[in-house]
Amino acid sequence: MSAPRRTGAGLFAADRAHTPLGTWLKIASSEPVEIMAYAGFDFVVIDLEHAPLDLQTAYRLINSAAALGMVPLVRVPDTTASTVQKVLDAGAMGILVPHVDTVEQAAAVGRACRFPPYGVRGAGGTSRAGAWGLRPDADYRATGNDDVLCIPQLESAEAIRSAPEILALDCVDAVFVGAADLSLSLGTTPASAEVLAMIGSAAEAAHAVGKRLGLAFGGVPERAAHAVREGCDFVLLGNDTSMLAGAAHGLVTAFRKAEAH
């Protein structure tokens, strides 16, 4: 008997014992994926927007993450249907889409994630997503329409204003508020009252229609835990490069202090 197949939708299952916790992957190697799995992360987001990763590398990282029991998501570098198609055919269980400002943009991305009649995604049943043609077509199509997560990133005041309409779309499963870019667009900081109010507004819009809102907090788990108590539904902490940099810098700094004594 084969092991149960994890899906993107399963990340938000109502019976989960804890908040889904993920991290970003920016290193073009499978070892960080293994480390994140052994550390206990629930999901990873392979970052094609802010890291020098290509589709072939993402393909390998998706497979590693899924094999290790994590949900592999991909932050796509653009909103074209061809990019979304290739990422999902590679086996990604969902996508994060940067800078979605309007309901029209969200609808276009959502349609790219879904098969007809719900969208425009082309059939690629002989890809990894279709188990190389070994999965029944009906199962392959149902998974694409029901189990793949479409998560627009809200990163501007316009996006926050559009949040109720975006979240009302059947093809959108959750939203991720990019607080860094949102604050940058407003000329303020992620911790400002203005940004926090906008995040709260987006969370209310998500919860009003039974959907999820996610945030990233770098290496500050206490802030993330506080946000969860305030209504955040899934969290990203750190990334592989920053974890390595922080550990390396801390080790060198500790040695130099000890050496000086």
Kindly list the catalytic residues: 50
What is the C-alpha R_g of the chain? 19
Residues 26, 239: contact at Cβ < 8 Å?
Answer: yes
Distance CA(73)–CA(91), nearest Å, equals 9
Distance CA(167)–CA(173), nearest Å, equals 7
Helix (H) or strand (E) holding 177: strand 174-177
In the chain, alpha helices (H):
31-39, 55-67, 81-89, 103-113, 137-146, 157-167, 179-186, 193-208, 221-229, 240-260
